[in-house]
Amino acid sequence: MTSFRNILFLISTCFMCLFISCESSTLPSDEVGRSSSSLITKSCSDEMTAIQVLGSGGPLPYDARASTGYLVWIGGKSRLMIDAGGGTFVRFGEAGGQLEDLDVVLLSHFHADHVSDLPAFLWGAGIAGRVKRNLTVVGPTGNADYPDIRTFLKTLFDGDKGVFRQLSSIPLDVVSADASGTKVTTVFKDQDLEVQALGVPHANSPTLAFKVNLGGKTIVFGGDQNGRNPAFLQFIQNVDFFVAHLAISEAPGLAAGEDISLLELHAPPTLVGELAATGEVGTLLLSHLMGLGQSNPRSAYFSLSNMQSNLELIKKKFSGTVIQAEDLLCIPMTNRRLEQAQ
């Protein structure tokens, strides 16, 4: 009996040690591309108005970040979502977001790292009973290579021929915004929230940047772009927050499997800094951060592999506050210039 009790004690002690170890440990920063302290997350739900990063990564799985997505909290409610890349559905739950509170989903373009979790969100919304009011979904016009937002949603959710036809019962208000980059379109407006869209160049993919106006504050989600639309400078002029995608380093090579420079897809650090400086933005939030791991010969092309030097290039151009995004990072919209995030 004593021997049996000792065995039970040893087993329970081992499980307790394993539990404590799992709870107290964090991944080394060189494994995840960020400092271990920043893995501690903060809920945005108590903030009256805030931006929360659902996914700070891109299409690559090597940096332990969800793909692209953001949440805007208004009055303590998760009302506005920008993009729905892989992993953002889980992050939405971790953030305390409520599907029934969502008013608008803004889709910048149809690359998988920006839209692949959309069916999961709608499936969850259906199960949660969010069928009492329409959800507004905004997306770009199309071209020869990509569908427009209406065709995209119809292909996925049409009740007769859609891939996810069982989700056709979720009521959607679909808004198409011109992605040519020549005009600003108001895509949503209610008492305390206005959203505008402008097309931005992202190789051959029709892509939108979004400006969110609420409570006297303005946020621009720049989306994936190469930074070369002159109209975008006016679009970001004097905004409080500019969410810029820093996917690549200063002198990248060709995109994987394509005869196209990454500079046609994304803006390099110097240009990101110039845009923020010329636009006189308040706070610059760097997201869509990408890494391949040091063993890959193409790793130097992407932002995380050279983050310190990339930040130095940006700060040579832009003297304001710069924040490096992390999944679930919450930023209250208070002062125009925030204290430097540590």
Work out the percent of the chain whose per-residue pLDDT is above 90.
Answer: 69
The pLDDT-based confidence of 81 (bands split at 50, 70, 90) is: very high
| Domain range annotation of the chain | 41-332
pLDDT of residue 252: 75
Q: Is the pLDDT of residue 342 over 50?
A: no
Interhelix angle 269-278/307-317, nearest 10 degrees? 30
The pLDDT-based confidence of 336 (bands split at 50, 70, 90) is: low
C-beta neighbour count of 280 within 10 angstroms: 12
Residue 223 tokens, joined? 């989306």
Q: Which fold has domain 41-332?
A: Metallo-beta-lactamase; Chain A (3.60.15)
73: nearest Cα among 103, 113, 114? 103
Rounded Cα distance, 261 and 264, in Å: 6
Point out which residues pair with 286 in neighbouring strands: 244, 324
Q: Is the pLDDT of residue 172 over 70?
A: yes
pLDDT digits (tens, 9 = 90+) for 203-247: 999 999 999 999 889 999 999 999 999 999 999 999 999 999 999
pLDDT of residue 127: 86
pTM: 0.86
What are the DSSP calls for 146-157, one per residue?
S--HHHHHHHHH
65: nearest Cα among 257, 307, 320? 307
Interhelix angle 118-127/149-157, nearest 10 degrees? 60
Coarse DSSP helix, strand, coil percentages of the chain, rounded to the nearest 5 percent: 30, 25, 45
- Dihedral sign for Cα 187, 193, 196, 202, please: negative
Question: What is the strand order of the sheet 77-82 is part of?
Answer: 172-177, 135-140, 104-106, 77-82, 69-74, 49-55, 330-332
Instruction: Report whether 224 contacts 288 (CB < 8 A).
Output: yes
Rounded Cα distance, 273 and 276, in Å: 5
